[in-house]
Amino acid sequence: MFYWGNSVSSMQTEGGWNEGGKSLSVYDIVEPAENRSDWHFANDNYHHYEEDLDLMKDLGMNMYRIQMSWSRCVKDGCGEFNEEGFAYYDRLLDAMIERGLEPMVCLYHFDMPLYLAEKYNGFLSREVVEYFVRYGEEVIRRFHHKVKYWLTFNEQNLYWNPDIAFRIAGYLNGDKTEDELYQIGHHVMLAHVRIVNYVHEHTDAKIGGMLAYAETYPATCDPKDIQAARKADEFMNRTLLDVFARGEYSREMMQWVKVKGIDMDCTEEDLELFREHHEDYLAFSYYSSSTVSAAEIPEGTTPNYYMHYGKKDNPYLATTEWNWQIDPDGFRDVLNKIYQTYHMPVFPIENGIGVQEEWDGVNEIQDDYRIDYHRRHIQAMKDAMNIDGVEVLGYLGWGLIDILSSQGDMRKRYGVVFVNRTNHDLRDMKRVPKKSYHWLKTVIASNGEEL
């Protein structure tokens, strides 16, 4: 079966931030700003998820990837299990299954419990690894009979990205050193591997690692740019894929750690767990691509930091309002990079285009640009499958019913369904299909044949 579906996170959809026994996450205390909402209401799926599920069923989708909130399931992330929280997710899963939507569950999507961030600095601490494993094992124990597809961390390579890692790992205090970056990345990988082992030891479910895979090209044909692009890919993508598929970090990365004297808090016991584990598929998000120029990168820079210094726009590609460059050929290339190297099923579980849109209250939004974006990316995926021989499990769009962006900005809309709210005015939250809704319904009904 090929899966067509939708992906979301809990803090971008649920709301109900102080209901049902939920404790605070780091997102719950974020203050609104000019172009940022608070996270208190989101789409209010805590109270009104059935309408969105009905829309997914009408579209013909057969999978819905959600995230369960650690703070909703466990008091402060480390205390008592919250039965009200588990009951909510039980109802949600049942409602999905009733509509023919195969659940995929992610355990963590950047929303560290506030208590663990304040006390332990999030995933910088091994104690937080233990608390996460306790939470994850309990969720899997309760729901593995309903959920056959699991993820641990959304976009796990972002924990190795110095511009993002500290924000999403629950890190609140410190100097954001290179050692700390590598410790966070390794601790997250350790937590991931332990959950993978638990799934395979105790259930018949499937689980895989997930990356945010942005294709990176050399800015020019200068060999130094080509090397910079390769090394950025090695340190930000392939080293994690090596763990997922082969049970060990990239030798190139580990040699760099040794030569540079980076303290990543990695023990032989950790590495043995890596070697013992196995995964069922390799998942990733894909939105855009960029280029890298070696001329901008200081000598001796660790490759995780290359894009911080050397990222350049690609003059051959169109771009969105947020300067995300549209590149379906890059999507095909990433599908091939992963599959042809590791020979494991590949699962693109986020793809979409964020655009500012307004609804006049009467007429359907004519989002031909969204149709064009998804058409070209789905065709690129089909070419990877039919011409290149890539084994692809499905295609999940991101936020196909409008949700808050990752920065809390409701202006940035990915959906084929408009949600009638703004950053600071909840309005009536009416769900209004766009032109792309009807197109996508035809695509899914034809299993991708009619684009």
**Calpha distance 221→237 (Å, rounded):** 22
Q: Name the residue among 278, 267, 216, 268 with its Cα closest to residue 243.
A: 278
* CB distance 8 to 67 below 8 Å: yes
- What is the domain count for the chain? 1
Range of the domain at 440: 3-445
Residue 450 belongs to a domain: no
Among residues 102, 215, 279, 350, which one is catalytic? 350
C-alpha distances out from residue 357 to 55, 327, 417, 418, Å: 20, 22, 11, 9
Q: Are 17 and 45 in contact (CB under 8 A)?
A: no
Within 10 angstroms of residue 69's Cβ, the number of other Cβ atoms is 28
Residues 354, 388, 106, 119: is their CA dihedral positive or negative? negative
Q: Which residues pair with 412 in a beta bridge?
A: 356
Q: Residues with Cβ < 8 Å from 424, sequence gap 6 or more?
A: 32, 37
Tell me the Ramachandran region of residue 77: left when phi exceeds 0, alpha when psi lies from -120 to 50, beta otherwise. Answer: left
102 with 110: CB under 8 angstroms? no
What is the pLDDT at residue 353?
98
Q: Judging by beta carbons within 10 Å of its beta carbon (0-12, 13-18, 19+), is residue 283 exposed, middle or buried?
A: buried
Measure CA 146 to chain center: 22
Residue written as tokens 């004519």? 366
Gyration radius of the chain's alpha carbons:
21
Provide DSSP, 50-76: HHHHHHHHHHT--EEEEE--HHHHBGG
b/e per residue 114-125 (b: at least 16 CB within 10 A): bbbbbbbbbbbb
In angstroms, the CA 249 to CA 275 distance is 10
In a domain, 451, yes or no: no
Q: How far is CA 404 from CA 33, 109, 277, 290, 352, in A?
A: 14, 14, 35, 24, 14
DSSP string, 179-228: HHHHHHHHHHHHHHHHHHHHHHHH-S-EEEEEEE--EEEESSS-HHHHHH
Contact 10, 66 (CB under 8 A): yes
164, 63, 81, 65: which is closest to 123 by C-alpha? Answer: 164
The answer to whether residues 451 and 381 touch, using CB atoms and an 8 Å cutoff, is no
Task: State phi, psi for 261 to the nearest 5 degrees.
Answer: 75, 35
Query: 306 near 231, Cβ under 8 Å?
Result: yes
Determine contact, residues 390/405, Cβ cutoff 8 Å: no
pTM of the model: 0.98
- Our answer to whether residue 364 is catalytic in this structure is no
Q: How far apart are CA 53 and CA 92, in angstroms?
A: 9
Each residue's pLDDT tens digit in the chain (451 positions)?
999 999 999 999 999 999 999 999 999 999 999 999 999 999 999 999 999 999 999 999 999 999 999 999 999 999 999 999 999 999 999 999 999 999 999 999 999 999 999 999 999 999 999 999 999 999 999 999 999 999 999 999 999 999 999 999 999 999 999 999 999 999 999 999 999 999 999 999 999 999 999 999 999 999 999 999 999 999 999 999 999 999 999 999 999 999 999 999 999 999 999 999 999 999 999 999 999 999 999 999 999 999 999 999 999 999 999 999 999 999 999 999 999 999 999 999 999 999 999 999 999 999 999 999 999 999 999 999 999 999 999 999 999 999 999 999 999 999 999 999 999 999 999 999 999 999 999 999 999 999 9
Distance from C-alpha of 237 to C-alpha of 231, rounded to nearest angstrom: 10
* CATH number of the domain to which 295 belongs: 3.20.20.80
Are 150 and 199 spatial neighbours (Cβ–Cβ below 8 Å)? yes
Which position among 155, 178, 215, 279 bears the catalytic label? 155
Instruction: State yes or no: is 155 an active-site residue.
Output: yes
Q: Quick one: which of 295, 281, 251 has its CA closest to 346?
A: 281
What distances in angstroms separate CA 42 from CA 9, 45, 240, 449, one per listed residue? Answer: 11, 8, 32, 34
